Structure formats: C-alpha cells, structure tokens
Amino acid sequence: MSNVPFDGPIFDGLILGAHLATLDGANGYGEIADAALGWRDGVLTFVGPRSQLPGAPDALAREVIEADGWITPGLVDCHTHLVFAGERAREFEMRLQGASYEAIARAGGGIVSTVRATREADEAELLRQSLPRARALLADGATTLEIKSGYGLDFANERKMLRVARQVGEALGITVRTTYLGAHALPPEFKDRAEDYITAVCEWLPRLHAEGLVDAVDAFCEGIGFSPAQTRRVFDAARALGLPVKLHADQLSDLGGAALAAEFDGLSADHVEYTSLDSVRTMAAHGTVAVLLPGAFHVLRETKLPPLQAFRDNGVAMAVATDCNPGTSPLLSLRQAMQLACTHFRLTPEEALRGATQHASRALGLHDRGVLRVGMRADFVHWNVGHPAELCYWLGGQLAHGIYAGGRRL
C-alpha cells in the first residue's frame, strides 16, 4: 500500500484528443496531436501528448472532456475602441460617395461625432451599447481585450469610458486592458487650442491612473490628430507615472510616429502603413510591436501597405487587431481581422494566428498568455476546424466550440 496520501485530482479540467496549436517556439504552429491539456486554478498545468499523462485521466481531473478539432491560445485583441455610443453608418455612405475620412473629420464629423453621442450616454447606457460588441469578439475567440478611451475628451467622459471598459471585463469574465487615449481628437471646446488641450490631457492622466483606470497611454499622431511634439508631451506624462505607451502611428502619413513610440520603449506602434525603414529599425531596437489593423485598411480602402517585409527582416513582431471602432473599422471579429491580414497584407495564417495571440499579448505587456505552455493562464479556444489555417480561411461562420478564460468555460 502506498504511504502517499491521496490528495484529490491534480487538474480542475482536462481536454483529451484534440490537436493543439501551442505556438510555443519561434516557428510553426507548435502542433501536438492527440493531446492532453490540463489546468488548475486558472493556469495550464499539462500541455502535451495524451500518452505522457502521469496517470489515468479520471483519477487526474475533476472533469475530463474528449474532443477533436484544434485548440489554440485564447485570441488577444490588442487594439479596440469598442466602448462608444451610436454608430457612423451614414459616414460610411458618404465615403462611398467620394468624401475622404480626413474631409469628414475636418467638417466636424468623424471621431468628434462619436464624442457627441458618447458624452450624452450615461455609464449604464454606454455599457448597454458596448457589451454586445465585446460579446461578439468573445464569441469568435477573443479572451483578452484592450479597450481605449478617446471619445470622451474631457475628464468626466474619459473616466466614464474607462470605467465602462472595466465593467465590460467584469461582466464577461475576461481580461480587459484599458488604454487612455485622451489625445485622440481635439474637442470643440478647445478649437484652435491644441497645446492647451494636451496640457489638460496630461493633467487628467494622473487622476485617472490614481483610480486604477489606466494600463497604458496612447495618442493619435497624425495631420488630423496631434503632432509628434504634442504626442511627446503626453508620453512624458505617461513616463512620469511609469505607464507604458503605444501609438496610432503613420496611418495616413509618415510623421515618424512609430519611431517616436519606440524611443519611449513603446509597447506598440499601430496602423504603421506609412512607417519608414528607419522607423522600422528603431522599433526593432526597442522591441516595439507593429500592430496591423487590416480592418481600417479595408474599410478606408487604403492602398499603402505597411512595410511588412521590413518588419520580418528586422525581427519586428507583427500583431493583428480589430481596431473595432465606429468610423474606420466596425469589425466585430478578431478572426476576421486575421483573415483580412492574410488577404490584404499576405500574412501567412500562422503569422496571423501568432499576431492575434503571442504578439498581441506582447503589445499589451502581458507575458502570461498567448501560447499554450505550462504556467500560462488557461485562456484557450477549442475550434471546430481540421487545420488552424481554417481560422483565416472562413469569412464569418461559427468556428469556436469552447472558449475558456482562466480555466472557466464562457
């Protein structure tokens, strides 16, 4: 008789028989066939072939699930503006009739029209309108969401947006990382006073941070947004608080935004269509992730491709995100963003999957997810597919079969 006391199952849950795309390692899907995936207390505790399990499954786990298909890490949407009120379908029509995004913005539409609607909604209403978007992203496999402010543009309304972002995470049981994007657009009350507005944005930041509402700081560095010098002021304020930065950089023109973000050891530079080779090198030197947003590229019918090969050649990690927002990317599926990254940017399906998991996690400064490995959070998706390339192949559809965050099935 053994003198080792029986102390119960070692896994809360164990899934057997599926293929894993662990993404562990620099190349390939990290495939494990006829796998076992076990977790306990929200963390992965076994990732390997079923044949290597240390005992009989029923004795090892409280719950054993037989499965087929593929399991990937939970998707990470590292760039969204999903908390907002209203929509801008009329603007979409105007663009199709020939108006440009910039012309609409300069005429008082665009971001500022969403600011009006967002200011009018109270917290409960904003949550009511935003939750279905988060639910849609979750239903297609996203277990971590970044959500930006930037449609409030005054202290109370930026605070309201960030509070609602936190509530989205609590309501759905998933991780939400909040990004303060006060420097998104110039609100009407600061017309022709951009410097004063930046001063205000920098003053609001420590107050919002003190309430635990800010995980990172972003800005829109562009002709119709803020200049590099103004962006630098916002980044200095972030740095003073020890907060990481990221940037809407080089989307419509090259203002050197990606290099500026990198100079501040930015987590990411996002959009990056017009990013120069010099900036790519600066990003590489600082480990700044390039976040590709093919939804905005698609909806704006852009033609200028990001410097994709230069990112690869210089070892700049490429993430993929939805940029879910009412103006340029009303996109409610990260898997669909992966599809668009393959068709428009010619990413391989493996690059797109890594981009929406491992590299997206890095773009949020999260190192506990994005691959299936013992010790990582038990965030994973069980897909009804015969090969992971299918995730980038189907346009639409319902492929996610089981979605787990922190070991809990959602």
Query: Which of Fe ion, ligand NIG, none is residue 295 near (CB under 5 to 8 Å by kind)?
Result: none
Q: Which residues pair with 230 in a beta bridge?
A: none
Q: Would you say 127 or 221 has its CB closer to Fe ion?
A: 221
Q: Answer yes or no whether residue 30 interacts with ligand NIG by CB under 6 A.
A: no
User: How many contiguous H segments (helices) and E segments (strands) does the chain have?
Assistant: 15, 18
| Cα→Cα distances 172→133, 144, 410, Å | 12, 10, 8
Q: Which residues pair with 70 in a beta bridge?
A: 19, 383
Q: Total residues at the site for ligand NIG (CB under 6 A)?
A: 14
Among 45, 114, 143, 333, binds ligand NIG (CB under 6 A): 114
| Tokens standing for residue 119 | 């200011």
In the window 189-228, what residues touch ligand NIG (CB under 6 A)? Answer: 220
Among 149, 178, 328, 336, binds ligand NIG (CB under 6 A): 328
Task: State in angstroms the smallest separation of the CB of 79 from Fe ion.
Answer: 6
Q: Answer yes or no whether residue 319 interacts with ligand NIG by CB under 6 A.
A: no
Q: Would you say 73 or 110 has its CB closer to ligand NIG?
A: 110
- CB atoms < 10 A from the CB of 121, how many? 22
Task: State in angstroms the smallest separation of the CB of 95 from ligand NIG.
Answer: 11
Task: State in angstroms the smallest separation of the CB of 401 from Fe ion.
Answer: 30
Report the phi/psi class of residue 343: left, alpha or beta, with left for phi > 0 and alpha for psi in -120 to 50. Answer: alpha
Is 298 annotated to bind ligand?
A: no
Among 82, 292, 296, 400, binds ligand NIG (CB under 6 A): 296
Lay out the site mask for Fe ion across 319-338 (x = CB under 5 A, - = otherwise): ----x---------------
Rounded Cα distance, 382 and 63, in Å: 16
Among 104, 111, 216, 391, binds ligand NIG (CB under 6 A): 111
Long-range contacts of the stretch 154-158 (C-beta < 8 A, 24+): 154/119, 154/187, 154/189, 155/200, 155/204, 155/207, 155/208, 157/115, 157/118, 157/119, 158/182, 158/204, 158/208
Query: Which of Fe ion, ligand NIG, none is residue 161 near (CB under 5 to 8 Å by kind)?
Result: none
Q: Answer yes or no whether residue 218 interacts with Fe ion by CB under 5 A.
A: no
Q: Would you say 22 or 179 has its CB closer to ligand NIG?
A: 179
Rounded Cα distance, 23 and 36, in Å: 15
Q: Which helix (H) or strand (E) holds 39?
A: strand 35-40
Helix (H/G/I), strand (E/B), else coil: 23: coil
- Residues annotated in a binding site for Zn(2+): 79, 81, 248, 323
Q: Which chain residues interact with ligand NIG by CB under 6 A? A: 81, 110-111, 114, 220, 248, 251, 296, 323, 325-329
